[in-house]
Amino acid sequence: MRLFKFLLVFHLVFGVKCHRLLVLFTLPTRSHDILGTALVKGLAEHGFDVTYVGLFEDKTPPTSYRKIVLTGFLEEYQRILAGKFTVVQMEQKSPFQHILMMNEVGNALTDSVLKHPNIQKLVQSNEHFDAVIMEQGLNDGLKILASHFRAPLVIFSSLGPNPWINNIVGNPEPPSYIPNIFLDFPPEMNFFQRIYNFVFAAYSKFNLDYVFYPEQSRIVKKYFLDAPAFDEVLYNVSLVLLNSHESVTQPVPLVPNMINIGGYHVRPPNELPKDLKEFMDNATEGVIYFSLGSHVDPSLLPDSTLQAISRVLGSRQEKILWKWPLDTLPDQSKNVRISKWFPQQDILAHPNLKLFITHCGLLSTTETVYHGVPILALPAVGDQKLNAAHAESLGLGRKLFPSEITEESFKDALNDVLDNPKYRDNIKYRSSVLHDRPVSPIQLAAYWVGYVIKQKGAPHLRVAGARMPFYKYLMLDVIAVIIFAMCSVSYAFSKIVGKILRPKNKLKKS
């Protein structure tokens, strides 16, 4: 083990000094920027020269890497999504509706990125990059930048393995035990769940190949007149970095060029601000932390839901930290403290924290597993439902959809997670699994990025199934031929038997 660590560190220190990286994180939420910033800082610390294309201005300009901000993009994003992402609206949309809406949003965001003046300026420059890293999220057209700069393409998936990633690298995702990212099914699905999962997987695959990808190709041609065929752009993936780990997400098959680095963004806790530290230190009955992340606005919950949550939390002996986007909270109880922002990782690390009420985004879920804090999940959007279902199946906490919240249901779930020691025991075990790794995840990421550069894109890691049509990949053509052959043989056999028996029947009649 010591020799392995020494060789890895030696490679990182002496093997990547002059490699230039272009890193793009253009999904417009703060949580994704947290992932992007943590990745580029880690890669810069391991010797890479990084140019980071992001959406958020830094309070203090970075010194270890160059940042290009797509100014005005967030305002464009708000215009695109106006009225589409309220909590209850998103929760109540069917998965099939989610797909159609994500098509619209993904195409609009891809177009907005490629036409942005700062991207056009970068494209028209004579800069050279040894690799392009981009966050994948219904923005496949951005892969053209790797082709433009003639650099290996590294994909980062903030959601771990999912159909958008698996589809382009040929990674297996059997619908028998791997639920689609938009579904809230456990891995041990019943018969009817497997039927739904299979049908939805086929629908999702059809949508990608025949609806979404053609539109992404059109957008690419709009800005790159000499772009290669879109298949060449889409499937030219050297490496996939996955923000996942078996301690948090479901263990699934991974092809050789997919690497788990989940938890890389979690840092050692800092000391809390003085007033917040005193608040938590003096909480003799413990603290409950309530945050729905950066993508879900809790103030848009129905009044009846907010009132139920407020009454239950206000009746608790614990102190409450509630991430709230407004200056005031209606009927705020004395034990409740609100703020538009909290240092989440530092709060989760505090020994007095008893429970995390969360939307169950993958970042928050990873952080709470890392620190061993049980959860009450209120999922609404995207992968949150799947994360919550998996967390509940592992016994890390309970899930309750926002539309299901009443004073009674919320109180029951809260009491169960706080009073039953199994949830804390289960998440402490998962925390030990997340910590038990041979090297840090950012070291692993740095090694593999350097590896694909050194190995000129590492084509030897790519599986042949990546570019197969779905009917070949699933052997549907072979199955069809076998069924046809069996039917033909059966038909021929029945005809032969009929001819043999027919004369005997005639003799009997005569």
DSSP structural state of residue 10: H
| Chain segment 291-342, per-residue pLDDT in tens | 998 777 888 888 999 999 999 999 999 999 999 999 999 889 999 999 999 9
6 falls in which pLDDT band (50, 70, 90)? low
Is 396 among the domain residues?
yes
Whether residues 424 and 402 share a domain: the answer is yes
Do both 404 and 447 map to the same domain?
Answer: no
pLDDT at 9: 52
Q: Which residues make Cβ contacts (< 8 Å) with residue 25, sequence separation at least 6?
A: 32, 33, 35, 36, 39, 52, 53, 54, 55, 134, 135, 156
Amino acid at 495: K
Band of pLDDT at residue 79, cut at 50, 70 and 90? confident
What is the token pair recorded at 241? 């970095």
Task: Give the CA distances from residue 244 to residues 261, 392, 506, in Å, rounded to whole numbers and listed in that order.
Answer: 6, 17, 73
In-domain check, residue 107 = yes
Q: Report yes or no: 319 and 342 within 8 Å, Cβ to Cβ.
A: no
Instruction: Indicate if 301 and 210 belong to the same structural domain.
Output: no
Is the dihedral angle over the CA atoms 62, 68, 71, 76 positive or is it negative?
negative
Mean pLDDT is lowest, of 72-81, 124-133, 201-210, 458-467, for: 72-81
CA dist., res. 461 & res. 456, Å (int): 11
Q: How confident is the model at residue 88 (pLDDT cuts 50, 70, 90)?
A: low
How much is the pTM? Answer: 0.90
What average pLDDT does this structure show over 365-380? 96
Overall number of domains in the chain: 3
Contact between 208 and 231 under an 8 Å Cβ cutoff? The reply is: no
If asked whether residues 330 and 231 sit together in one domain, one would say: no
Which range marks the domain in which residue 493 is found? 475-509
Residues 431 and 444 in one domain: no
Among the residue ranges 89-98, 184-193, 414-423, 446-455, the one predicted with the least confidence is: 89-98
**In which band, very low, low, confident or very high, does the pLDDT at 381 lie, cut at 50, 70 and 90?**
confident
Query: Which one has a higher pLDDT value, 184 or 382?
Result: 184
pLDDT in tens, 337-372: 999 999 999 999 999 999 999 999 999 999 999 999
C-alpha span between 406 and 418 (Å, rounded): 18
223 phi/psi in degrees, rounded to 5: -110, -15
On whether residue 50 sits in a domain, the answer given is yes
Tokens representing residue 15 in the block: 């093997």
Decide if 154 is inside a domain. Answer: yes
Q: What tokens does 254 get?
A: 């991974």
Q: Which domain CATH number covers 146?
A: 3.40.50.2000
**Interstrand relation of 397-399 and 336-339 (parallel, antiparallel or unpaired):** unpaired
167 and 22 both lie in a single domain:
yes
Q: Assess if residue 216 is contained within a domain.
A: yes
- Regarding whether 210 and 105 lie in a shared domain, the answer is yes
Does the pLDDT at position 195 exceed 90?
yes
Over residues 42-61, the mean pLDDT reads 93
Q: Is residue 450 part of a domain?
A: yes
Q: Is the domain of 372 the same as that of 483?
A: no
Q: Identify the band that residue 421 occupies on the pLDDT scale cut at 50, 70 and 90.
A: very high
Q: Is residue 197 part of a domain?
A: yes
Q: What is the pLDDT of residue 83?
A: 57
pLDDT above 90: residue 469? no
Q: Are residues 131 and 58 in the same domain?
A: yes
The SS3 assignment for 256 reads coil
Assess whether 236 and 344 both reside in one domain: no
Cβ neighbours around 103 below 10 Å, total = 17
Long-range contacts of 4-11 (CB under 8 A, 24+ apart): 4/438, 4/439, 5/438, 5/439, 8/439, 8/443, 8/447, 9/443, 11/447, 11/450
Rounded mean pLDDT, 177-198: 93
What is the chain's mean pLDDT, rounded?
Answer: 91
Helices 303-314 and 407-419 sit at what angle, rounded to 10 degrees? Answer: 40
DSSP 251: -
Q: Cβ(313)–Cβ(293) under 8 Å? A: no
Query: Same structural domain for residues 92 and 218?
Result: yes
What is the arithmetic mean of pLDDT over 211-215? 97
Q: Residue 8 — pLDDT band, cuts 50, 70, 90?
A: low
The residue among 329, 316, 326, 327 whose CA lies nearest residue 288 is 316
The reply to whether 269 falls in a domain is no
> What are the pLDDT digits (tens) for 89-124?
666 778 888 898 889 989 999 999 999 999 999 999
Non-local CB neighbours of 100 within 8 Å, separated by 6+ positions: none
- Per-residue pLDDT for 87 more than 60? no
- At residue 155, the 3 state secondary structure works out as strand
pLDDT at 468: 86
224 plus 306 within the same structural domain: no
Rounded Cα distance between 405 and 301, Å, is 10
Reported in sequence order, the residue ranges of 292-439 that DSSP labels E, i.e. its strands, are 319-323, 336-339, 353-358, 375-377, 397-399
pLDDT tier at 16, thresholds 50, 70, 90: very low
Q: Which residues contact 69 (CB under 8 A, 6 or more apart)?
A: 54, 55, 56, 57, 118
Q: Over range 216-230, report the average pLDDT.
A: 96
- Give CA–CA dist 213/469, Å, rounded: 14
Which one-letter DSSP state was computed for residue 226?
A: T
Task: State mean pLDDT over 258-285.
Answer: 95
Calpha distance 342→362 (Å, rounded): 18
Place of tokens 């199955």: 479
Least confident of 263-272, 276-285, 440-449, 499-508: 499-508
Confidence band (pLDDT; 50, 70, 90) for 504?
low
Integer angstrom CA distances of residue 182 from 5, 27, 28, 380: 38, 18, 20, 10
Is pLDDT above 90 for 407? yes
Cα distance between the two ends of the chain: 90
Query: What does DSSP assign to residue 210?
Result: I
- Beta strands 49-54 and 20-24, pairing class: parallel
Q: What is the pLDDT of residue 248?
A: 94
